[in-house]
Amino acid sequence: MFRSDEEKAQRAADKERKAFEATPQGQARVAFQRGDGYFEIELDLRRTGNLNSHGGTGSDPRDFWNRPQSGRMDTLSLIESEGWRLSQANHIFVQTGEDSRDKWTASGQRVAIKGKIVGIYLFSRDEKRVAQQAM
């Protein structure tokens, strides 16, 4: 099927817009444009619970606390740049499973709980910013 350059450009722009709207900043922009009074988002902050090959959690903290792979770490600032002000922040641990192995030199097992720490953030519409943008 033949597509004109204009159609190709439009499809590329639509793909780029959808990719942006899937990000936290993009979700915040859509909510702001929709006129929402509040914006809530949950962000995975850390994962926990890896057992090493010897049955322990390891002495390297990176074996236990792993940051998810992500881009910019100033996500909350990017959301505020879309017209929101952070009102509340909470953090919870969500268990996703557990790993167990027999102890190497003793009876019993070692257990590592797997999970993640999730940040729950509530933003309110920043009316001062809205007024400044209207000027």
Alpha helices per DSSP H over 51-134: 61-64, 75-80, 127-134
- Classify the phi-psi angles of 89: left when phi > 0, otherwise alpha if psi is within -120 to 50, otherwise beta: beta
Total structural domains within the chain: 1
pLDDT tens for 12-28 read 999 999 999 999 999 99
Range of the domain at 83: 5-134
- Chain Cα centroid distance, residue 33: 21
pLDDT tens for 59-118 read 444 444 445 444 446 899 999 999 999 999 999 999 988 877 777 677 777 777 888 899
The terminus-to-terminus CA distance of the chain in angstroms comes to: 47
pLDDT tens for 91-106 read 999 998 887 777 767 7
Q: In which band, very low, low, confident or very high, does the pLDDT at 38 lie, cut at 50, 70 and 90? A: very high
Q: In which band, very low, low, confident or very high, does the pLDDT at 45 lie, cut at 50, 70 and 90? A: confident
> Range with the lowest mean pLDDT among 36-40, 53-57, 72-76, 103-107?
53-57
